Amino acid sequence: MTPAGPLVAVRDLTVRFPVRHGMVEAVRGVSFRVDRGQVVAIVGESGSGKSVTARSLAGLAGDGARVGAAELTFDGVDLREVRGRAWRALRGRRVGFVLQDALGSLDPLRRVGAEVAEPLRAHRIVPGRQVDAEVVRLLGEAGIPAPESRARQYPHQLSGGLRQRALIASALAARPDLLIADEPTTALDATVQRQVLALLRERVGDGTAVLLISHDLGVVAEIADHVYVMKDGLFVEDGPAAAVLESPSHPYTRTLVGAVAGHGRGARPAGSAEPRSAGTAREVLRAEGLVKRYTLPGRGEFTAVEDVSVTVGAGETLGVVGESGSGKTTLGRLLMGLLEPDAGRVLLDGRPWDGLRGAERRAARRGVQMIYQHPLSSFDPRYTARQILEEPLRADGTPREERDRRVASLLEHVGLAPDVLDRRARELSGGQRQRLAIARALAPAPQVIVCDEPVSALDAPIQAQVLDVLTDVQERLGVAYVFVSHDLGVIRRLSHRVVVMKDGRVVESGELEKVFDHPEHPYTKALIDAVPRFAWRSSGVSSGGSKRGASVTGA
Amino acid sequence: MPRSLWPWAAVLLVLAVMAAAPSLFTGIDPDAADLDAPLRPPSAEHWLGTDQNGRDLYARIVYGARPSLLIGTGAVLLALAAGVLIGVAAAQLGRVADQVLSRSLDVVMSVPGLLLVFLVVAVLGPGGGTAAIGLAVVSMPGFARVARGEVIRLRSAQYVEAAHGFGWSRAQVVARHVLPNAAGPVLALATVSLGAMIVASSSLSFVGLGPRPPTAEWGAMLSESREFLALAWWPAVFPGVAITVAVLAVTFVGQHLNRRVEGRHS
C-alpha cells in the first residue's frame, strides 16, 4: 500500500473491439490519474469511449475487448496482470460501480436489502449476524427514508431516485477506495439529482475517490475536481474543473459547454416568436378539470391526474414541468385522446374528444401527434425511414405522387438528408432518429404535438440541435407544442407558458418569465433551486440565446 | 446458411420432392405384394429388402413420405392458423372475451394430449386427416398463448400507439404493425413444433390411428415390422431411419431460420 501515490494511474490505455472486419479502437491511448478523495470526471458524448475507459479499470471493458496500456495500476496493483478470481476480489470490495439505469442494475426479483447485502456477504465485510443492521445503516446513510421498510421492498416499488440511492448504497457497502459512477444522475429529476450528488460529495469527504462519467456538464461542474474531455477515444483537453469549464481551450469542449449554457440559461432565442400573452392566440387545445385514476391491485386507488385544466394556443408552446410520477405523461395521453379521463374533458379545436366516435375520432386524432423520449421504440422495427414517413400519409389517403413530395418537404423541415430514407431507424444516430420522429409527427399536419421528454435521452449538443429544429418548425408551420420535461433548461428554452405539476396537480402556471423568475409555490422554488449551478455562468460562452439574461438559478 | 447445414437442407429438399412426386424416385408400385418373396433382405432387386407381404420397402418409404410428412405439417399449419386467430381475438376483443378464450385454452391444455387425440380420432374416425386435426387440437393452445402474449406486448408498444394517432382503424393497426411483428415468435414455435408433430403423427400411425392400411406410412410400417423383428431387421430399421432423418433435417434447418429471424429483430 502506498497511500502517497495515486490511487489509479493509467498511461496510454487502448481498448479495441473485434468487429466483422477487423478491429475498432474505442479508446486510442489515454492517460489519467485519480487520487484519493478526489472526483475525476470524464466528459464526452455517447460513443466517445468514456464508459469503456472507466470499465477497463474493473476488467469489465466488454466481450472480446483487447485492453492495452503502458501503465494500468490501482493502488499499486498492476491491473494488466489481474485475471479471473483476482478481479472479483477487486470488484465490489475495492472498486464500486454505479450505473445510469438503476432499474436495470437491480435484480427485479430481489428485495433491495438483499441487493445491498450482497457485497457485504460476498466479501465478508461484517459478520453474518450484523448484515441486516449494516444494510439498514447503509440505506439510511444513502438518504433513504425509513430504511427498515425500504429494505424489504422490491426495486419496482421504489421511485427512480430511491433506486439510484439504493444502488449507491450497494456500491458503497464494502467501503471501496474507488467509486466508478457512470452517468449516475442522468435519469433523475433535478431535486433528486441534487440529493445524489450531495451523497457522493459526502463520501468523497471520507476519502473515497470517484471517477465520474457524464455528459452533463452541470453535474460535472458541481462536484468534479479534475475534468478530462473525451472525443473519439482520445482526451482532447483536461485540467481543473473550474478552468476547463470556464475557459475551455479546445473547440470541442467549447461546443459542449456552449450547448449546455445555451439550454441552461438562455430563454427562447431572441427573435423567435414575439412575446405573446395568453389569450391572444387562437385556442386549439383545452383541457377542463381532467381526472384520471388507476386501481392498483391490493393497494387501492392511485390518482395520476387530479383536476388539471390547461389551454394551448395555436403556434404556442406549453411547458409541462414536473418530476417523474407527477402525472405529466398521463396528461399527455389524455390530451391525445388515447386515454379516457374519469372526469373532465379535452377539446380539440372546440370539439370534445368524447363527442367523437369511429371514423370521426380517428380523423381527429391526426390533429394531435406525439414525439416520444425514445424515438426508436416509436418506429415499427421493420420499417425504413421512408416507410415511417409515408405511413401517416397513407393513413389519410394522400395520393402516391403527392406522398413523395411531402416526404421530401418533411425531411427538409427537420434538416435530414434524403439518403436516410432507405435506412432503418436503428441505423440512424440518436439525433437523426429524433428528427425523423419530428418529421413523422408533422406529416398529418397536426395542430398540436405532444413532446414527451423528447431530448432527455440525447447528448447536450444534439439536444440543442433538436430543440432548434422544434423551434424552427414551430415558426414555419405554426404548430403548437405541449412540451413535457423534467429539464428546466429545456422547458425554459422552448416554452411560452408553463404549468408545474406535482402529484398529479398543477401547483403553478403562467407565463414563462413569471414562473421561472418569480416562482410562488414552494415546490416550484425548490425545483428551480435544485438545478446545478453552472460555475462558468459569468463567462461569455453561450449559444446565442442569453440576451434575455435571466438565469435558471435565479437571483 | 452455414456450410454444415447444406446436407440437411438438401435432405429436406429431397423429402419435399419425394412427397410431391414419388414416382420420380421409383418405378415400383409400393402396394404390389409378391407373396413369393416375403422378408427378403436388401439386394440389387429390392434395395431395402421387402416386407412380410413381399412389398418393396424402398418404394414404400418413398411413397410413405407424403402421408408421413403431410400429417405433421398439416397439424402445425392448422394449429398455427387456429391458434393465431384465437390468440389475437383473446388479446383484442376485451376482457370478457379474453377470459372466456384463455380459460377454454386452459381446459384444453389440462386434458392429456394423448387422450385428446384419441378422443378426436374416436369421434371423427381414424385416418390421415383426423390425425392431423387431433394433433392440431392438442398443439393449438400453445400457438394461441404465444400469439396472445405477443399481441398484448405489442398493443402497448409506442409504434402501435403512434399508428393509432395517424387515424388507422384498430383492424388496420393490427394488420400493419401487430401481426407482422408478432410473427417471429409464433413462426419460431411452428418450426420447433414441426419435428415433434412428425414424430407424433408417426406414433399415431404406429398405434393404428393414422392413415388406413395399405397406405404406406413410416409409423405404420414400423408397427407392422414388430411381429417379424426376430426374423428381419430391415422392415423396422429403414422406416425408423427415415423418420429420424426427416425430423433432424426439419429441426436443424428450422433452428437456423429462427436464429436468422431473431437476428433481424434484435
What DSSP string describes A4-31?
Answer: TS-SEEEEEEEEEEE-SSSEEEEEEEEE
Burial class (CB in 10 A: 0-12, 13-18, 19+), A426: exposed
Please say whether the beta carbons of A166 and A196 come within 8 A: no
Residue A283's SS3 state is strand
How many A/B residue pairs have CB atoms within 8 Å?
A: 60
Range A283-530 has CATH code 1.10.150.390: no
| pLDDT at residue A405 in the model | 93
* Count of beta carbons in the 10 Å neighbourhood of residue B260: 10
**Secondary structure element (H or E) that encloses residue A41, with its range:** strand A39-43
Q: Residue B161: its chain A contacts at CB < 8 A?
A: 338, 370, 378
Q: Which of A391, A426, A453 is the best mutation test for B, with the most CBs of B within 10 A?
A: A391
d(C-alpha B214, C-alpha B220), whole Å: 9
Chain A, 400-459: which have a CB under 8 Å from a chain B CB?
440, 443-444
Q: What is the pLDDT of residue A539?
A: 36
Give me chain B's average pLDDT, please: 90
For B130-156, b where at least 16 C-beta lie within 10 A, e where not — what string?
bbbbbbbbbbbbbbbbbbbbbbbebee
DSSP lists the bridge partners of residue A32 as A10
Q: For B168, which of A336, A372, A395 is closest by C-beta distance?
A: A395
Which residues on B lie below 8 Å from A365 (Cβ)? 164-167
CA distance B155 to chain A (A): 12
Report the topology of domain B66-265: MetI-like fold (1.10.3720)
Q: Which residue has the cell 379474453?
A: B98
Amino acid at A511: E
Give Cα separations from B97 to B87, B150, B157, B173 (angstroms).
11, 17, 22, 20
pLDDT at A546: 36
Q: Which of A366, A369, A378 lies closest to B158 in CB terms?
A: A378
CA-based nearest residue to B222, from B34, B55, B207, B214: B207
Q: What H or E segment, with its residue span, contains residue A78?
A: strand A77-78
Q: How far is B188 from chain A (nearest CA, A)?
A: 17
C-alpha A101/C-alpha A111 separation (Å) is 17
* pTM (whole model) above 0.80: no
pLDDT tens readout for residues A127-174:
888 888 889 988 888 878 788 888 888 887 777 777 888 888 888 888
> What's the gap in Å between the CA of A379 and the closest CA on chain B?
5
Instruction: Tell me the CATH architecture of domain A8-226.
Output: 3-Layer(aba) Sandwich (3.40)
Question: In chain A, what residues touch B185 (CB-CB under 8 Å)?
Answer: none
Tell me the chain B residues in contact with residue A443 when contact means C-beta distances shorter than 8 Å.
Answer: 166
Please answer yes or no on whether B165 and A366 come within 8 Å at the CB atom. yes
Distances (CA, A) of A341 to A213, A306, B63: 42, 10, 65
According to DSSP, the β-strands at A8-18 and A343-348 are: unpaired
- The pLDDT tens digits of the residues spanning B130-154 come to 999 999 999 999 999 999 999 998 9
- Shortest CA distance to A59 belongs to which of A39, A85, A35? A85
Distance CA B49, CA B51 (A): 7
Question: What local confidence, expressed as pLDDT, does residue A264 receive?
Answer: 41
User: Which residue intervals of chain A bear CATH 3.40.50.300?
Assistant: 8-226, 283-530
The vertex-B85 CA angle with B84 and B86, nearest 5°, equals: 95
| CB contact (8 A) between residue A378 and residue B165 | no
Contact flag A336-B158 (C-beta cutoff 8 Å): no
- Could you read off the pLDDT tens digit of each residue along chain B, which spans 266 residues? 788 889 999 999 999 999 999 999 988 889 888 888 888 889 888 889 899 888 999 999 999 999 999 999 999 999 999 999 999 999 989 899 999 999 999 999 999 988 999 899 889 988 889 999 999 999 999 999 999 999 998 988 889 989 988 989 888 999 999 999 998 889 889 988 999 999 999 999 998 888 888 889 999 999 999 889 888 899 999 999 999 999 999 999 988 888 877 655 44
Q: Which three cell numbers stand for residue B1?
A: 446458411
Q: What is the pLDDT along chain A (555 residues), one digit of tens a residue?
A: 445 678 899 999 998 887 767 778 888 889 999 998 899 999 887 778 888 888 888 888 777 788 888 888 888 888 888 887 888 888 878 888 887 665 567 787 888 888 888 888 888 778 888 888 889 988 888 878 788 888 888 887 777 777 888 888 888 888 888 999 888 877 677 777 787 888 888 888 888 899 998 877 878 888 889 999 998 888 988 889 888 888 888 888 887 777 664 444 334 444 444 444 444 568 899 999 999 888 766 666 778 888 999 999 998 999 998 876 678 878 888 888 888 899 999 998 888 887 788 888 888 888 999 998 888 889 998 899 999 999 999 998 889 989 999 999 999 989 898 988 988 888 888 888 999 999 999 999 999 999 988 888 787 778 888 999 999 999 989 999 999 988 888 888 899 999 998 888 899 998 988 888 888 998 888 888 877 655 333 333 333 333 333 334 433
Q: Where are the domains of chain B?
A: 66-265
Sign of CA dihedral B248, B249, B251, B253: positive
* Alpha carbon distances (Å) from B261 to A381, B77, B120, B179, B189: 13, 19, 34, 15, 12
- Out of B164, B180, B181, the one facing A365 most closely (by C-beta) is B164
Place of cell 469527504: A205
